[in-house]
Amino acid sequence: MKPRRLLLALAALGAAAMSHAAVPPVLVIHGGAGVIKRDLTPAKEKAIRAAMTKALQSGYAELKAGKSAVDAVSAAIVVLEDDPDFNAGKGAVFTHDGRNELDAAIMDGDSRRAGAVAGVERIRNPILLARAVMEKTPYVMLSGHGAEAFAQSIGMPLVDPSYFRTEERWQQLQKALKEDAAGKSHEDEETAKHFGTVGAVALDAQGHLAAGTSTGGMTDKRWGRIGDSPIIGAGTYANSDCAVSGTGWGEYYIRTVAAHAICMQVSQMRVPIKRAAAVVINQEIPALGGNGGAIALDAHGNIAIPFNTDGMYRGWIDASGVPHVAIYGDEDDGSSVPPAPTPADSTDDADDDP
Ligand code: ASP
């Protein structure tokens, strides 16, 4: 090789190595959009903040140990799935006919491998089964009994469906059923019907991103209904530039392919992640009649947490290594989010959390 060619080749190798140089890890989590202030007692708020902090610490410990973004996302989500205050795993909402049907997905940004499960009723930690689908099968999504049979085949124990039941979720369903019977529209209740879904996005020390989401879906959903969370590109997506986990009225996230729509702007149009996320979550989805929020993270560690509901359980640990948790939109902790931008604002950078 001529000396000049050799130099160029070495420079290219250096650049490639630099793009995977150690970077400060970042973890962002959500515990669902649609928080209604009057619904939260001080004790409940304290419990939510403690659980969010525990999930952050659990995921961040993986990143600090040099483990992958996928490991961090799984670890953070397992904590929230096991906590009955969130609509994922134990504490999931009930379907119209009184069952708990769980959806989850995980995606590794660098390889763009993904795994998902939909409509499972006997899996304690659906995020772990979604990960097993990604790592141990040639498929992306398994549903219902087939997913549960796969779990058994890899030695993952099944739980009795009663494991997921909490009295609070049961009462939420009873209220929704009464409203159904009275012919009342659920419109005012939509935010209450979809809150508590959990998700995480992470950037590991190798500069790789991952995203994951886990949910019981929406209270009073028809059996067999599958939301956006396990649909790759809708509620969950990651590539090497961007990772997103959504929470909100799932049908709108599917129709806008929300998570993918955010990442494509970042990857292909080099739109800053805050603006890309705000356009989809605070403009496109509300314009169709939907609502909700998302967490988004780019490969430089920039975070976006747009939402258009009263609040959103959210937390993050950035390069400072300090966990932050916020709930309401008006929290004066440096994490407050401006109101949804109007179309006229769309060229401005949307400043929100971190
Ligand atoms: N997006 C979820 C669904 O529609 C619900 C939520 O995020 O709370 O299933």
Query: What would the pLDDT profile of 68-110 be if each residue is shown by its tens digit?
Result: 999 999 999 999 999 999 999 999 999 999 999 999 999 999 9
pLDDT band at 34 (very low <50, low <70, confident <90, very high): confident
Question: Ligand 1 site: residues with CB under 6 angstroms?
Answer: 32, 87, 194-195, 197, 215, 217-218, 227-229, 235, 247-248, 250
Is 80 exceeded by the pLDDT of residue 349?
Answer: no
Q: Domain range holding 246?
A: 21-352
Number of domains in the chain: 1
With respect to residue 335, please indicate whether it lies within any of the assigned structural domains.
yes
Average of per-residue pLDDT values in the chain: 88
In this structure, is residue 318 part of a structural domain?
A: yes
pLDDT at 333: 46
Kindly tell me if the per-residue pLDDT of 280 is higher than 50.
Answer: yes
Residue 8 covered by a domain: no
To the question of pTM greater than 0.85 for the whole model, the response is yes
Which has more pLDDT, 3 or 101? Answer: 101
- Which mutation among 93, 215, 219 tests ligand 1's pocket best, with the greatest number of atoms within 8 A of CB? 215
Q: Is 67 within a domain?
A: yes
> What is the model's pLDDT at position 315?
97
Cβ atoms of 134 and 113 within 8 Å: the answer is: yes
Q: In what order do the strands lie in the sheet with 292-298?
A: 236-238, 242-248, 292-298, 303-304
What is the 41 CA–ligand 1 centroid distance (Å)?
Answer: 23
User: What is the pLDDT, as a whole number, of residue 247?
Assistant: 97
CATH number reported for the structural domain that contains residue 28 in this entry:
3.60.20.30
29-43, 113-127, 219-233, 247-261: segment of lowest average pLDDT: 29-43
CA of 128 to the centre of ligand 1 (A): 19
Has residue 13 been placed in a domain? no
113-120, strands of its sheet edge to edge: 141-143, 113-120, 102-108, 209-215, 198-203, 26-33, 311-317, 323-328
10 domain residue, yes or no: no
Q: Which atom of ligand 1 is nearest to the CA of 226?
A: 9
Residue 150: helix, strand or coil by DSSP?
Answer: helix
Q: Tell me which DSSP letter residue 121 carries.
A: S
Query: Looking at the domain assignment, is residue 241 inside a domain?
Result: yes
Domain contains 170: yes
pLDDT at 21: 54
Nearest-angstrom CA–CA distance, 188 and 99:
23
pLDDT of 285 higher than 50: yes
Alpha-carbon gap, residue 353 to 218, rounded angstroms: 26
Nearest CA to ligand 1 atom 8: 194
List, by residue number, the catalytic residues. 197
